[in-house]
Every structure is written in structure tokens, then in C-alpha cells.
A and B are shown apart, each in its own frame.
Chain A
Amino acid sequence: MGNEKVKSSRRKFIKSAATLAGAAIGFSWLKSSQVLLYGAEPKDETLPWYGIVIDIQKCIGCGNCAKACKKENDVPVEPFFFRTWVEQYTVKNDGSVDIVSPNGGIDGFKQTVPDEDIFKSFFVPKMCNHCSKSPCIQVCPVGATYDSPEGVVLIDEKYCIGCRYCVQACPYGCRFIHPVKKVANKCTLCYHRLKKNLAPACMETCPTGARMYGNLRDKNSDLVKFLKEHTTQVLRPNLNTGAKLYYNALSSEVR
């Protein structure tokens, strides 16, 4: 008798657990992941919604972007604080990959691998991806970092408590703690310049036009046209961060 009772309650438990799990899986399917957003879900139609394109086929690794960013935004000059930086990837003939970024690329790059060993080599500029579902915003315990109505991820320096959750949450390594202000710091897409109708400093000083920003909501903007005509990809699409920084000609070696 008692044994029968245990069996039936166990059966009940397994049934309800299976129902819950099934519902959870079904619900996650309903809201399927959008890896490429291309101007989805506008909140405020009157404001632009910014996206960024970086064309790896145009980047020559001069480091002007990283240099200009530091000057424009008064980023500390020590070699480990960057809002944007450039990495050089070298895939060797034996299949191994060398990734270097001496001083964020500010002083330029010298190819250290002899030419005959190189399978291919290219530069990858990195910066904040201004994710629309960003992990850094989700972990902030005080609401000091947020997605602006223009889709720019910003920091409220007066409200930040410097707990570093966001620094470790960003899968792209784009945040750091400002050594003087002791609060989180990152790329603002030069929000102060955008508001004055000027291009972000890194894009103003890119000699080859490898970087581009634009309004994802405007289907006729240069940015959206570029996205239509090229095969672009975001970094770490598996994390479903809703990154709005699209790379053209991104190689699978890039992390």
C-alpha cells in the first residue's frame, strides 16, 4: 500500500517536471534568437538607432583609431586601458594562430612571423559592440549602465559603484575600471560627438574608411546598404548578445 503511494507521487512529480521543462523549451523557441538584427524592434522612431560596420578587408592596422580614441575621450595612456584597439591575427602554415596587439596597435604593427610561414594575416579592430541585449547592462546592480534610446550602451559615471560585474560580464572585453575615477569605462560611440552631428573619433581618423556607423532604422542609410550587399557577421553570435557591430569578411579564427 505505502509503496504504491510513493510510486504514484513519484509519477506525479516526473509528470509535472516534464511539463515544466517542455513549456520552458517551447517558450524559448517562441522567442527565437536574433543574431543579426538589421534594424529590428525600434523603440523611438524619431531617433536614429546606431549600428557599426568594420570592414576587415580595409583595415591596414595603422592604429589611428585607437590613438584618436584615447585623445578624444581622455582615456588613460597606460597600455592596458582601451576603448578601441586593433589586433593582428596571423594564421601560420602549421595551422596555429598568432594574435598580437602591442599597445593596442597605437604604435603600429611589425610582422613578427616570416613571410614564408604565413598562411594568412589580417587586422581586427575591436570596440564595444553596443549590444541590444547586452550582458553588461543585465548584471549592473544599480542601473548605472544602460542602452540609450539611440542604441548606444552608456555608463552613468555618477551612479556607478565600481563593482566590476560588467567588466567580467562583457564577452568582448570592452570594459575596464578607470584608474582615477574608479568607475567602469568603455566606448560610448563618442556619444558627445554624435549629438553634435560629428562622426566618432575612430571613424573620423580612419584613413581607409574601414569603420562605418549609421542608422539601422533607415533602410536607405549607407550602413544598411552595406549590410545588404556584404556578408557580415557579429562576434560570438552564439551568445545572442544582440551585438550591433558587424564585421565584413570576418574569419572564423577571430575570437
Chain B
Amino acid sequence: MKFYIPPQIPRLVIAFAIFISLFLVARHFLVPDTFGKYGHYRAASLIDNANPEIHYAGQQACFDCHQDIEDLKAKDVHSDIHCEVCHGPGEKHVLSSEAADIFKPSGREFCGSCHALNAAKPKSAIFQIDLNKHNVGKNCNECHNPHQPWEMKK
């Protein structure tokens, strides 16, 4: 007995073939080049994410020029604190060497952002003072050198 194929089957096969090939063509053009190289994402996006410019130059960039401050800082409790903690982002200053491009902090409030008394600050982590009692009216750097805080000026 001859195997009977109903006439709608070949038509369906053709229709499916057309749709699948259309899908494959569309997919070829719509999916970005590097998609799926490492996983379900565009591999080129890794480069996009690595591209933005930096604003913080990093500790070593500061010491490349300011060797004296490195030595000064190494002697006291602020030795582990990186320059940009207080001086802000320094990449612009590294590139231009202009003094105007780096922040020079001063004032009781600024030092207080770390050293002001607060019950939530762990005592072991930071030396705290009560800004309302400790030498009111004086600027911190009148007595303390911020790079060497326990070397009193007077």
C-alpha cells in the first residue's frame, strides 16, 4: 500500500520553511555581533563598561610627586588614609598639576565629618571629639597638622 501524505502537509512544510528562514534572516541582522560570546549578553559591553574615564587617581599617583607628604604621613595615625579621602578626586590635578584643580579642605565641620562624636561610631575605629566642647572657635589646623595630627603645632 502506498504511504498517503495529505495534501495540506507539504503546504504546511513550505509555510514553516518560509517563516523559519525569515526568522533566521531577521535574527542574523537583529542580534548584535558579540552577543553570546561569553554568555547571554553582548561581549562588547564589557569594553564599554571598562571605558569611562577615572576621576580618582589613586594613592600612588599622589606619591609620585608628593614624596614629602608620604614621609610625613607615614609617621602618624593618618598614614593609612589615602590622599583623596580628604582632597577629593585628583585625576584632573594629576594631569594639569594646577593647585586649583585639587580641593584643600579646612574647618571644624570638615574634620568633624569623621571625628565628631556620635554614638553610632565604633570607638575602636576612630578618635572622636565633641565639637561643642573641644577648643570652640578654633580651626583644627591651628593646632594639628592634618598630615601628622599628633605633632602639635604649639
**Which residue numbers of A lie inside 8 Å of B, CB to CB?**
57-64, 68, 71-74, 88-90, 108-111, 115, 118, 121-123, 143-149, 154-159, 188, 191-193, 195-196, 198-199, 201, 204-210
Chain B facing A: main interface SS: loop
Closest to B109 in A: A108
State whether B42 touches A156 (Cβ < 8 A): yes
New A-B contacts (10) at CB < 8 Å, excluding given A57-B124, A123-B120, A157-B45: A60-B122, A108-B116, A122-B120, A144-B41, A146-B40, A154-B45, A154-B49, A158-B48, A192-B54, A205-B56
State whether A72 touches B42 (Cβ < 8 A): no
Among B51, B80, B82: residue with most chain A CB under 10 A? B82
Given known A159-B32, A192-B51, contact A58–B125 (CB-CB < 8 A):
yes
Closest to A156 in B: B45
Closest to A159 in B: B42
Interface residue ranges of B95-154 to A (CB < 8 Å): 112-114, 116, 118-122, 124-126
Chain A facing B: main interface SS: loop
Contact of B38 among A63, A110, A149, A195 (CB under 8 A): A149
State whether B59 touches A204 (Cβ < 8 A): yes
State whether A72 touches B120 (Cβ < 8 A): no
Collect the chain A residues with CB atoms within 8 Å of residue B54's CB. 72, 192-193, 196, 198
Closest to A72 in B: B55
Nearest-Cβ distance from residue B33 to partner chain A, whole angstroms: 12
Collect the chain A residues with CB atoms within 8 Å of residue B45's CB. 146, 154, 156-159
Collect the chain B residues with CB atoms within 8 Å of residue A146's CB. 39-41, 45
Interface residue ranges of B36-68 to A (CB < 8 Å): 38-42, 45-46, 48-56, 58-59
Collect the chain A residues with CB atoms within 8 Å of residue B116's CB. 108
Collect the chain A residues with CB atoms within 8 Å of residue B56's CB. 68, 71-72, 193, 198, 201, 204-205
Collect the chain A residues with CB atoms within 8 Å of residue B52's CB. 73-74, 192
Nearest-Cβ distance from residue A116 to partner chain B, whole angstroms: 10
